[in-house]
Structure 1
Amino acid sequence: MIGDLALLAGTGLAALPMGREMLRKPMGRQARKNAPGQFADLTDGRTHFDWIGPKDGPVAVCVHGLTTPSFVWGGLAPHLARMGYRVLVYDLFGRGYSDRPRRVQTPEFFADQLSDLLRHQNVGSDITVLGYSMGAVIATAFAAEDSHRPRRLVLIAPAGMGQDLGTVARFATDWPLLGDWLFHMGWPRSFRSALEAERSLPSSVPGIVDLQIAELQRQGYVRSVLSSLRHSLRQPQQAAHHRIARDEVPVAAIWGRDDTTIPISAMGTLAQWNRSVQHEVIDGAGHGLVYTHTDDVAAALERVLA
C-alpha cells in the first residue's frame, strides 16, 4: 500500500509540468487575430514578422533574444527607420506569435529560420544584421554560415562568450529529465520576479514587463527557453567569430556598463576572438539597454553604421 501511494505521488509530481503546460494558451488563430505585421509559412513553421521604414532603404534585420519577442525592438526600430533603413523584425520560434516546433533550438536552427524568412521576402545580400543578447549568437551563426550576405553585424549585449546562466538554468541544462522538471516548475516564478524588479525602469516599449510576463501564459514558451539555454547558450561561439574575422565581416558590439547578465568583461573575450570589432559602451545601462537606454543605443548605432 505504501509503495503504491509513493508511486502515485511520484507520478503526480512528474505530471505537474505537463499539467501546467496544458493550462497555458496555445499559439493559434485566436491568439494571432490581433497580431501586427504578417506571417510566413516557413520550413519549420509559421513565423511572425513586420517591416518598418522606407521600402527602398537598405535592409536591417533585428534578431531578438532568449525571452523577449520582437516587441523588444519597438523603441529602437523607428530610430533605424529614421536613419533610412528598411527594418525587418520577427519572432523566433517559440516566442511571440511564431510557431513552437519541437526542434532542438541550436544557433543553426535559428539561422535557418532567418534564411528561410529572407528568401520568403526576396531579400538577398548586403544586409545589416542586429542581434540582441541570444540574438547575437544567432546573427553570428548566420554570418558564419554565409559571410557574403551581411554587410555588417551589430551585436547588442551579446551572448556567446560563455556567460553564467544562473543556478536553476545551469542545473536544468546539465541534468535532463530532472532538470526539465525543475526548470518547468521553478523558472517561471523566478523569471516573473526578475521582471517585476525591473518595472520601475524607463522603457521605450510601453508595458514591456507585462508583455514579457504574458509570454509565460503561452504553450511552448518555457520549453523553448530551456531548449535554447541548452543548445544555443551553453557553448561559446569562438569558432564562428573566428570565421567572421577571417572573412572580414565588419562587426560592432554595444555593451551595457552595468549589465549583470552579459557582463562587460565579455568584451575582452570578443576582442581576443576578433580584434577588428568596434566596441561601444553605454554607461548606466543593464541588459535591457535596447529599451531602457534606447536613445543612447541609437546614438551608438549612428556612429557604428556611419
Structure 2
Amino acid sequence: MPGLGATLAGAGLAALPGLREWRRIPVDARLRAQAPGRFAELPGGLTHYDWLGPERGPVAVCVHGLTTPSFVWLALARRLVAMGYRLLIYDLYGRGYSGRPRGPQGPRFFTDQLRALLAHEGLDADITLIGYSMGGAIATAFAAEEAHRLRRLVLLAPAGMTHDPGRLTAWAVEWPLAGDWLFHMGFPAATRRAVAREAGAETDGIGTRQLAELNRRGFVRSVLAALRGTLRHPMEAQHRAVAQTGLPVAAIWGREDRVIPLRAMGMLTQWNRHARHRVIDGAGHGLPYTHAAEIAAALRDLQAG
C-alpha cells in the first residue's frame, strides 16, 4: 500500500520537531538549582536574575539578545563593575533559567517582563538601560514609554533597524506551519555552525553555553516567536519617540557585524540625530563578549563627553 507508506512517512517527518523537543531537558526546579542569582515570580512567569557590583553604585540594567541569555554580559560586567556600576542582569522569558510561556513574543511581551522585574526590585528611576541585539529593540521600546525613569540608553549592536537572519530563518518567519517545521529542524544546526565560526574569539565559554540552550525545552520555540514578534518590524516610531524625550542615547557597533550590519547606524542617525555612536574595529555581532574592554572604554568616553 504505497499510499499508506507515504502517509506514515509524512506523519513521521511531521512529528520530528515534537520528538526533538520531547528529548530536550525541561527547565524545572532541578535544573534551576544550578543557577546563580535569584528568581522572581512575575505575572508573566518565573524570571531568573542576578545583581553584580557594589550595592551603592549607579544602577545599570542589562537586556540580552535573541539567543544568548544573561551570561552574555559576564565579560562586560567585570569592567562595568570596576567602573563602579551595580548591574542587574536577567534572562528573558524562554531563555536561560526563566520560564517558558507560550504565545507571541512581541516588544510588549518583553517590556512587561522588564517593568515587572524593576517593580519587584524597587527600581523606579535613574537607571542606565543597556540593550544588546534584540535587547536593544526591547530597551528602546521601554525607553519610548518610560524615558523619565532612565538616566541613559545604551545600545550594543541593536536590532530594530536592519537585520539579516539568513535565508532559512527569513523564510521560516514568514510562513507558519511549514516555517515552524523548517525552523525547528534547521535552526539548531545553523546555531552550531555560527558558534563554531566564533570559537577563536569568544570568551567565558559563551559558545558552550549557547549550545547548551539548544538542549533545553522551549528555547527554539521562543527564538522563533521573538523573530516573528519583535525582530520582524523596524523600530522607527520608538526611536523617534525616544529622540523627542531628549534621553541621552549611546550606540556602539561592530564594524564586521554581519547580523546587524553597520548601515543600521545611518538609519538610527536619521531617526535620532542626538544619538552618539562608536564603531569598534574588528568586532562582529558578539562584541559584548569579544570586545568587552573596548565597549567599556567607549562607554567611559561617551559618558564623559
Q: TM-score, normalised by structure 2?
A: 0.98
Deviation at 1:3, TM superposition (A): 2.2
Q: Secondary structure at the match of 2:130?
A: strand
CA contact (8 A) 1:128 1:150 kept: yes
The equivalences for 1:25-174 within 5 A come to: 25-174=25-174
1:15 aligns with 2:15: yes
Q: 2:244 aligns with which of 243, 246, 251?
A: 246
What residue is the counterpart of 1:279 in the other structure? 277
CA contact (8 A) 1:253 1:278 kept: yes
State the identity %: 59
1:259 aligns with 2:257: yes
Q: Distance in 2 between matches of 1:252 and 1:39?
A: 30
Deviation at 1:202, TM superposition (A): 4.6
Give the number of aligned pairs.
Answer: 304
Deviation at 1:232, TM superposition (A): 0.6
Q: Distance in 2 between matches of 1:153 and 1:285?
A: 21
Deviations 1:69-111 (A, max 9, x none): 0000001112111222110000001111101100311111101
CA contact (8 A) 2:162 2:260 kept: no
Q: Secondary structure at the match of 2:46?
A: strand
| Alignment root-mean-square deviation, CA | 0.9
Unmatched tracts of structure 1, length 5 or more = none
Deviation at 1:34, TM superposition (A): 1.5
CA contact (8 A) 1:14 1:181 kept: yes
CA contact (8 A) 1:162 1:233 kept: no
1:294 aligns with 2:292: yes
Deviations 1:250-304 (A, max 9, x none): 1000000111111111100000000000001101111111111111011011112
* Paired residue type of 1:85: Y
Deviation at 1:187, TM superposition (A): 1.0
Q: Distance in 2 between matches of 1:302 and 1:250?
A: 14
CA contact (8 A) 2:162 2:261 kept: no
Deviation at 1:64, TM superposition (A): 0.5
CA contact (8 A) 1:111 1:141 kept: yes
Q: Secondary structure at the match of 1:48?
A: strand
Q: Secondary structure at the match of 2:147?
A: coil
Q: Secondary structure at the match of 1:181?
A: helix
Q: Distance in 2 between matches of 1:202 and 1:37?
A: 23
CA contact (8 A) 1:242 1:273 kept: yes
Deviations 1:38-81 (A, max 9, x none): 00000111000000111112210010000100000001112111
Q: Distance in 2 between matches of 1:151 and 1:20?
A: 44
Q: Distance in 2 between matches of 1:202 and 1:41?
A: 32
Flag as ranges the 4+ runs of structure 1 deviating above 6 A.
none
Unmatched tracts of structure 2, length 5 or more = none
Higher helix share: 2
Q: Distance in 2 between matches of 1:110 and 1:188?
A: 23
Q: Distance in 2 between matches of 1:106 and 1:78?
A: 31
What residue is the counterpart of 1:175 in the other structure? 175
Deviation at 1:134, TM superposition (A): 0.5
Q: Secondary structure at the match of 1:239?
A: helix
- Could you say if the C-alpha distance between residues 245 and 198 of structure 1 is closer, same or farther in structure 2, counting changes exceeding 3 Å? same
Q: Distance in 1 between matches of 2:79 and 2:70?
A: 15
CA contact (8 A) 2:164 2:258 kept: no
* Paired residue type of 1:41: E
* Paired residue type of 2:252: I
* Paired residue type of 1:127: I
Deviations 1:186-243 (A, max 9, x none): 110111111012111152x2x1111110000000000000011111101000000010
* Paired residue type of 1:198: E
- Select between 194-203 and 166-175 the one with higher mean Cα deviation: 194-203
